[in-house]
């Protein structure tokens, strides 16, 4: 059984497009190995990826250039920070879709903040199709 995200990925591949071409994606992931794998998957689809392990560094990027990214992938277990706090600070600087990276399916995971909704979730371990589809679902459709 495939997810909606995987279906979107497959549909984009059938059209022969690398749908992430030129899209700038910030990956904020607590594990360097996982961040590397995510970056490789997104770059293979044409994405331009910057990975950060530390929320402070990611937030500094947004402070310096709030329009530098098209989407954010945010690990809910980022070190020494609440993912909600990180999301609030990102959204205070830029109107950008944030997709959560989750280690476990948790029903108690907050999916919104006042006036904001996370674009989606992807659960570890994830398949390439699910990851790419989650990012595609968060981005506006380009013609």
Which pLDDT does position 34 carry in this prediction? Answer: 93
Kindly state the average pLDDT of the residues 113-142.
86
What are all long-range contacts of 78-82, with beta carbons under 8 Å and residues at least 24 apart?
78/28, 78/29, 78/30, 79/30, 79/53, 79/54, 79/55, 80/55, 81/55
Domain CATH code at residue 12: 3.40.50.2300
Count up the domains in the chain and report the number.
1
| Span 49-103, pLDDT tens digits | 999 999 999 899 888 988 899 999 999 988 778 889 999 999 998 889 999 998 8
Domain residues for the domain of 36 are 4-138
Q: Is residue 63 part of a domain?
A: yes
Q: Is the residue at 143 inside a domain?
A: no
Residue 132 lies in a domain: yes
pTM summary value: 0.83
């Amino acid at each position: 059984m495939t997810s909606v995200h995987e279906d979107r990925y497959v549909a984009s591949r059938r059209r022969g497009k690398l749908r992430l071409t030129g899209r700038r994606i910030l990956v904020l992931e607590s594990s360097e190995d996982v961040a590397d794998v995510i970056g490789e998957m997104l770059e293979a689809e044409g994405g331009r990826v910057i990975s950060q392990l530390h929320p402070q560094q990611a937030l500094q990027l947004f402070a310096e250039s709030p329009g530098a990214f098209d989407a954010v992938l945010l690990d809910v277990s980022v070190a020494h920070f609440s993912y909600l706090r990180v999301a609030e600070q990102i959204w205070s600087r830029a109107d950008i879709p944030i997709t959560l990276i989750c280690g476990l399916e948790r029903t108690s995971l907050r999916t919104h903040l006042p006036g904001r909704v996370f674009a989606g979730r992807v659960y570890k371990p994830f398949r390439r199709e699910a990851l790419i589809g989650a990012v595609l679902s968060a981005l506006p459709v380009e013609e």
